[in-house]
Structure 1
């Protein structure tokens, strides 16, 4: 069994995935749009170019997502997507990339449990934690 986060975006899923591809080296495997899918006849025309389903991997770990219809979108909260980096320098770089244009909740730095840890919300509203190996 595998546990994978499934994120719901407010109409900018594809933009977010392309950002993660550049910022942290994510590999996009699937981006399926509403238009051209069997779901199109059940969705409003405004959703045609939106993402029905997307999948990417970050260092081999799968994250899935889609665009939520506007009337169903809810702000992401109550969780964080956590990246574990063996090297604190690499962790710091990934943290800085994710935080660009977003909000830093806890700057990346040494803690009592880690050589580097930080929390941010990216410009798409996704909460992230980046943690590096313990001392």
Structure 2
């Protein structure tokens, strides 16, 4: 069975926000990945290198709060309504395919579902109702 987690987008202050959330929820970050450590690092301006590509904080009973810095240098622009995604973690690649292609039908694919540089099977889309989704499968 797939699980759904909130995925937030911030305008450059993800680290500040997540340090605040950590002070409230407690716990430790599961992941902290910076843009300087991605294949796109060479295409980004110096001021974006330390921004967060991904951060994850468990906040209780299987729920993980995750986020990224939306970078204008990558053509990303935040407006009210696009500052979050519903992130589905699937149990198999087949389940990822089913949910990705089913939910994205009639919508707009942002990132095609495929193996990502970090090793997961990942894709993003906006459904026909304007809801932003991410589908992810992590192989064992």
Taking structure 2 as the reference length, the TM-score comes to: 0.49
From the superposition, tell whether residues 21 and 76 of structure 1 become closer, same or farther in structure 2 (CA, over 3 Å): farther
Q: Give distance in 1, aligned partners of 2:52 and 2:20.
A: 15
Structure 1 residue 76, shift from structure 2 partner: 4.2
Residues 1:42 and 2:50 aligned together: no
In structure 2, what is the Cα distance between the partners aligned to 1:17 and 1:56? 8
How many residue pairs get aligned? The number is 81
Q: Tell whether the 8 Å contact from 1:20 to 1:26 is kept in structure 2 after alignment.
A: no
Tell me the C-alpha RMSD between the 2 structures.
2.6
Structure exhibiting the larger radius of gyration computed from Cα positions = 1
Match of 1:120 in 2: none
Relative to structure 1, the CA distance from residue 26 to residue 8 in structure 2 (aligned partners, 3 Å threshold; closer, same or farther) is farther
Per-residue CA deviations over 1:73-105 (Å, capped at 9, x if unaligned) read: 31444899xxxxxxxxxxxxxxxxxxxxxxxxx
Alignment correspondent of 2:70 = 68
Q: Any unmatched runs of 5+ in structure 1?
A: 81-135
Cα deviation, 1:43-83, whole Å, max 9, x if unaligned, reads 23321010011111101311211000136231444899xxx
Unaligned runs of 5+ in 2: 85-140
Structure 2 match to 1:14: 15
Equivalent residue for 1:84?
A: none
TM-score by length of 1: 0.51
Shifted more, 2-11 versus 31-40: the winner is 31-40
